[in-house]
A and B are shown apart, each in its own frame.
Chain A
């Protein structure tokens, strides 16, 4: 039977893994951000399916809160990307390693 908890969890794990792979493999900082969003969605899916499984509303509330946090994160992350792109004219996340240096402000 496909329509079972395990099927939903499998879907969530596949999406989560793809998101993780995106973080690990891509240099484009936008894609990294999107991968993180994807991972959050996967987690949401796990919550919601568990809520359905146990017939409880709590996980849905948590999922809603996660979405709200994702929205807040989006605001900060995107403004950061804007600032960094203005300075470096690049979307390469590796360039931002200079942030670890003491005299990174040039």
Chain B
């Protein structure tokens, strides 16, 4: 197969989103387009991309071929040329596979979820655009192309978060996400510029950078790695730029599932893995990344234990799981991190979609303490959610167990015991808050029986089942050798530094058992506290954890408020008293002088002659003085 099909993986969703956008405009301006037309385009694009990606995947089995397609020369700046190129190696094709597959399932789900929405076409326009941007990010052959996708996902995420734009809060949440992402993007740009300056002369794509970065001094590399990680922090919602992720739940639930769980937020992890040749040279930055990830994981898990909004719990759990991934990639276990990205995509998408199903069934109720008894009413949702919850908690043989175990093993075997302890503790918390959610929503007795449940269409439940199967099976591609399996993902993603090989089998077994016990401990605590939960009143929480450690407020006072004050100072003091005075004074001066000059233009010939006389006089005087 020819390499140009790589470009089509990205182009198909772009074209489809364009068509959908045009059709949507047509449908609101001229005549209504039925929803199934939008669905047809919206759903076929990810499927086609998936099939194309799969064909590349098949070609890659058994060899180390890298597919490279340079479409055309995009920029030519005097020796620094930038191609519009696409590259598929094993990492990116792996990402493409699960992005398109999970994305496709979520598209199907969305076609049910958004069924009654006025902006159905608009939604799929954004959705496909997002998918295309994500694929561009993954398949870009150099940092610049990657950055285009990076910005594309940020932009479409903004559009989707503020999708229900009638509510000002949602728009605010969209703005917050966009601004927080911008801070990260700044880091990315700085890193890119520095890289371009030091190593851009031999071609600015990943393959060339791999060579040319070797000759760059370590302090510069540290700076580049750090700046890049700032970008990753912004996109992947780690401390300190995580504040946008919980608010981003303002968007429709499929958005949360697709963007804020399965794909976009993992872009940061992907980027670190993509730049592994850079981070291999600077392990100290990698350690920093790992610690940021660990602290984020713990922090988010603690906050999640006290939340009441079902989607916010999941949002914080996403942040926490992303923290795990950063632990792995920071310590050099790139394949482990990507493995967790993979499994996480399945069970987190499933969790969000299950939550969305519950929310729809209960007529858009999001507070878990107003739910209850959903087990009997929606058994399918219950079972799939149970699988996902088990998976995220790390109970074997569900997917999350293997990947999380690998991460903790990586941490332990790297000698970073503190990271390991944080990880295990976070695992306990994870199991606790996830089962708290499960018990309250599905076993609790709070829900008033008299309300009739909203019907759940097939298009919403089928993807749940598929993803549930995925959540069970996804882990088996990375069974550790200890259990007689073969680490397929490790061997697929190649011979990256993987330090988990340096521990003995007995240690490995002990660690595994500890993990399982940690998860069981969390489940046990949740069971004690919340099983058959039947509080009649919705509990009112207070305290530092419920208020998310006042992080939003701290940011407000430290940054937002200060900037606001500065803006007020500039706009009311400097602008009014200084700039406006100058500008207005200038314009008034022009008007006044124009007024006077206009008087000279009075059609009086004698006056003109007199002016001429003055001119002659002046010129003559000058000439007399010059021509001595």
Query: Which residues of A are in contact with B by a Cβ distance under 8 Å?
Result: 20, 23-27, 32, 93-94, 96-101
Contact = CB atoms under 8 A, between A and B. Distances in A.
B603 A97 contact: yes
Nearest to A101: B603
B606 A93 contact: yes
B609 interface: yes
Contacts of A20: 609, 613
B600 to A, nearest CB: 12
B215 interface: no
Nearest to B601: A100
Interface residues of B, number: 8
Interface of B: 602-606, 609-610, 613
B614 to A, nearest CB: 10
Contacts of B610: 24
A94 B602 CA distance: 10
Contacts of B604: 93-94, 97
| Overall SS of chain B's interface | helix
Contacts of A101: 603
A97 B610 CA distance: 15
Given A93-B606, A101-B603, 10 more contacts: A20-B609, A20-B613, A23-B609, A24-B606, A24-B613, A94-B606, A97-B603, A97-B604, A98-B603, A100-B602
A101 B604 CA distance: 12
B603 A27 contact: no
A32 B610 CA distance: 13
Contacts of B609: 20, 23-24
Contacts of A23: 606, 609
B603 A99 contact: yes
A30 to B, nearest CB: 14
A78 to B, nearest CB: 17
List 3 A-B pairs, minimum CB-CB distance, nearest first. A100-B603, A97-B603, A23-B609
A27 B609 CA distance: 12
A50 B88 CA distance: 91
Contacts of A32: 605-606
A26 B58 CA distance: 102
Contacts of B613: 20, 24
A25 B609 CA distance: 9
Contacts of B603: 96-101
Nearest to A25: B606
Nearest to B603: A100
Contacts of A99: 603
A101 B610 CA distance: 21
The residue among B602, B603, B610 with the most chain A CB atoms within 10 A of its own CB is: B603
Nearest to B610: A24
A100 B603 CA distance: 6
A23 B616 CA distance: 15
A97 B606 CA distance: 10
